[in-house]
Homo-oligomer: A and B are copies of this chain.
Amino acid sequence: MTNLIALDWGTSSLRAARLADDGLVLEERSLPRGILTVAPGGFPQVFEEICGDWMHAADALALICGMAGSRQGWVEAAYCACPAGFADVATRLTWVEPGRIAMVPGLTCDNEGVPDVIRGEETQIFGALELLGLDEATLVLPGTHSKWARVTAGRIARFSTFMTGEFYALLRQHSILARTMPDVDGDLDEAAFERGVGHALHSSTLLHSAFSARTLALFGRLPADALPSYLSGLVIGEELGAQHLAGGEDVVVIGSEALTRRYELALRLLGITAQRAGSEATWRGLRAIASTLRSGR
């Protein structure tokens, strides 16, 4: 385990870390080489670029999670069905180079006859569970496509995807709502954000509530500078409203500081406490998967 090389290779970014046995991050690197920037056949070269030197160690093991394991990635790692825990994922690795480089599979889950998928988030979830010492939890990974997961007995029982960040970007940039907004988002206006969350929680659907960002502007009831924060509250409020969370419940939020702050504010309006886990969760998750391989190597 001395030379575990952990890679988080997503759609738009690539991060790598060299980890010590105790999980300490010895060195960290990143490149703007998400899989969308890599031509077919180009993955070995980018891999060499980010961690070729680290791989010279005789016992080096690279574990890769994220979209690099998708059909558009380096090597396709078939989805693992839910419920799934560390061990399930660890036994379903797809080896790019036997014993040296492996791809962590994503998960699939059946939501009333419709499949849902995650790739990379399963590793963050496993890591967050370890970091927080939990084996029962409701977790959210906010982003372009937010993922909500329910963990029971240490395994991901089910999850579902919400296109929250993407809807925000579409409405912010391409919809009629953009016309009354400033060109660039300013700092978060917490009051406007919370007003948006509150309105979404009492509204039937975002198709309707989103229009309030237009009428409140038209009637001078919300200044233009506050509209992006208000709209962010509308989409996040819509996402939270769909979770049917019980007041008093904790939710683990895994994400960037800025997004975590928004979810924390929104959850508070529902009487729910957020526990935080950051990007370190990915390294911790990969280390946990690697530890199950120790006996087999």
Which residues of A approach B to under 8 Å, CB–CB?
Answer: 112, 114-117, 145, 160-164, 166-167, 170-171, 173-176, 199, 202, 204-208, 210-212, 215-216, 218-219, 221, 235, 238-239, 241-242, 244
Contact = CB atoms under 8 A, between A and B. Distances in A.
A242 B166 contact: no
Q: Which of A162, A207, A216, A242 has the most CB of B within 10 A?
A: A207
A-B pairs with lowest CB-CB distance, top 9:
A204-B242, A162-B207, A170-B170, A205-B242, A114-B212, A161-B211, A115-B215, A115-B219, A162-B208
A207 to B, nearest CB: 4
Given A170-B171, A199-B114, A163 B235 contact: no
A207 B114 contact: no
Contact of A114 (B173, B175, B216, B239): B216
Given A160-B208, A207-B239, A216 B115 contact: yes
Nearest to A212: B114
Nearest to A161: B211
A161 B164 CA distance: 21
B219 A207 contact: no
A74 B282 CA distance: 58
A114 B215 contact: yes
B205 A205 contact: yes
A117 B174 contact: no
A112 B201 CA distance: 12
Given A170-B170, A176-B166, A205 B112 contact: no
Contacts of A238: 205, 207
Contact of A170 (B116, B174, B219, B235): B174
Contact of A215 (B117, B175, B211, B241): B117
A205 B167 CA distance: 12
Contact of A205 (B117, B175, B218, B239): B239
Contacts of A163: 175-176, 207-208, 210-211
B162 A205 contact: yes
A106 to B, nearest CB: 11
